[in-house]
Amino acid sequence: MKPMGPVPAGFASIDGELAIGGQKTGDLAAKGTPLFVYDRAMLDARVADLRAAMPERLAVHYAMKANPFPPLLAHMAGLVDGFDIASGGELRLALEAGMAAGRISFAGPGKDDGELEAAIAAGVTLNTESAAEIRRALAIGERLGVAPRLAIRVNPVFDIKGSGMKMGGGAKPFGVDAELVPPLAREIAHSGAQWRGFHIYAGSQALDADAVIATQAATLALAGDLAEQAGVDVPHCNLGGGFGIPYFPGDTPLDLAQVGAALDDAFRALPDRLAETQFAIELGRYLVGEAGVYLTRVIDVKRSHGEIFAVTDGGLHHQLAASGNFGTVVRRNYPVAVANRFGEAAMESEQTIVGRLCTPLDLLANKVALPEIRAGDLVAIFCAGAYGASASPSAFLGHGPARELLV
């Protein structure tokens, strides 16, 4: 038997069935599986909890790469203060979702001229990633007769301790090395462009409040130092993200109150150069990850050499991360349940849940303790709201993409 991650708080059952947004999963799945279901009320609650814990001064941005499903984006546009985007495609979706261009910022190490032009024309802030990109943006702004809104993405020398994904610390393709930032900040501020400040992103998926607090403190110190060295004020500073969610056995939620209190203290002790700065955090996974569930129907249950395999109509073509093939070295089990018998006791034998793809990589839950699975059962894989549908190879083996539903 292998453990699995904790089922996120807030999921109830109706008549023994897992419910999402007050609806039975069987009803949600009636029009076809596999599907992703995202719970609007859980999105609302997550943003509300975050705002309650964080200083009022901190703006909350949604990093839409986590989940760009248009109905979810439209809902998030009404909840948060801005969107962070990573491509021209995301720019279009963000605007279509109703987010004002002035509240969108665009990071990414490989923005092409077409993307820069679309963003500058729309009035989106560019988190610029190199001297060459700054000069391309200035030239495009001149050509368009628009003052581009330019911030600098800084490559910090620190990263979040225990972070799931390191984005800072040492040589990186992201952002500008801190020591090169001051002259570039001055260049932008004196160029006629709108100088917007800094974007400092040190890592993601951290569950340790102390690590997040230390990183935020280092980020504020770095922003203050760079502003001082450059001799510029900082209209806006994106402190990055990094708030993680529990996926795996032993993971515990981030202590939001602790992080918020420390940030509140830090905001009371800012240097002069940051006195008027508008701060933001940029969260993707933290806002939407736990609000999503991937539902897949069991097609066959078979035994092989004494082991039980439940074969579903889903797989890694929809939920690559849950199969352990995206950004993880050692595969561990996401939280999983038999949705139509939610809360029922586990059988004695371990069971393995696989996707329908003809590859041993397509493993959704390895040797877990669950109620006895039968053909026709509905399997729920939790923590599917972020980096699921859009971060999986949906064309692989020709089964097509999953349905998505916001309830």
Q: Which of 3, 16, 70, 110 binds its own copies (CB under 8 A)?
A: 110
Question: Measured between alpha carbons, how far is 43 from 201 in angstroms, rounded to an integer?
Answer: 23
Answer whether 313's CB lies under 8 Å from 299's CB. Answer: yes
Answer whether 320's CB lies under 8 Å from 391's CB. Answer: yes
19/316 with CB nearer its own copies: 316
Q: Is 165 in the site for its own copies (CB under 8 A)?
A: yes
Q: Which of 184, 263, 311, 378 binds its own copies (CB under 8 A)?
A: 311
Answer whether 130's CB lies under 8 Å from 172's CB. Answer: no
Interacting residues with its own copies between 58 and 87 (CB under 8 A): 65, 68, 85-87
Taking residues 180 to 209 in sequence order and writing x for each that binds its own copies by CB under 8 A, - otherwise, the string is ------------------------------
Q: Is 23 in the site for its own copies (CB under 8 A)?
A: no
Interacting residues with its own copies between 114 and 153 (CB under 8 A): 129-130, 132-133
Question: Measured between alpha carbons, how far is 41 from 44 in angstroms, rounded to an integer?
Answer: 5
Q: Is 166 in the site for its own copies (CB under 8 A)?
A: yes
Q: Which of 40, 172, 332, 403 binds its own copies (CB under 8 A)?
A: 172
Q: Is 89 in the site for its own copies (CB under 8 A)?
A: yes
β partners of residue 128? 152
Answer whether 339's CB lies under 8 Å from 379's CB. Answer: yes
How many CA atoms does the CB half-sphere of 113 hold within 13 Å? 8
How many residues form the binding site for its own copies (CB under 8 A)? Answer: 71
Q: Is 327 in the site for its own copies (CB under 8 A)?
A: yes
Q: Is 96 in the site for its own copies (CB under 8 A)?
A: no
Q: Which of 113, 36, 103 is CA-nearest to residue 71? A: 36
Q: Which residue has the tokens 């279009």?
A: 92
CB of 157 to its own copies, least distance (A): 8
Q: Which of 218, 355, 405, 406 binds its own copies (CB under 8 A)?
A: 355
Q: Which of 30, 171, 269, 275 binds its own copies (CB under 8 A)?
A: 171
Residue 250, amino acid: G
Which structure tokens are listed for 122?
């729309």
CB of 133 to its own copies, least distance (A): 6
The runs of H, that is alpha helices, within 81-130 are 88-96, 113-122
Question: Measured between alpha carbons, how far is 93 from 162 in angstroms, rounded to an integer?
Answer: 33
CB of 198 to its own copies, least distance (A): 16
Q: Select from 20-28, 75-83, 165-173, 285-293 the region that touches its own copies (CB under 8 A).
A: 165-173
Q: Is 215 in the site for its own copies (CB under 8 A)?
A: no
Q: Which of 392, 404, 405, 406 binds its own copies (CB under 8 A)?
A: 392
Going 67 to 68 to 69 to 74, the CA torsion angle's sign is positive
Question: Measured between alpha carbons, how far is 49 from 53 in angstroms, rounded to an integer?
Answer: 6
CB of 169 to its own copies, least distance (A): 10
Q: Is 109 in the site for its own copies (CB under 8 A)?
A: yes
Q: Please, is 343 exposed, middle or buried when counting C-beta atoms within 10 Å of its C-beta (0-12, 13-18, 19+)?
A: middle
Which structure tokens are listed for 310?
């439940």
Q: Which of 313, 338, 380, 383 binds its own copies (CB under 8 A)?
A: 313
CB of 254 to its own copies, least distance (A): 21
Residue 15, amino acid: D
Taking residues 370 to 389 in sequence order and writing x for each that binds its own copies by CB under 8 A, - otherwise, the string is -----x-------------x
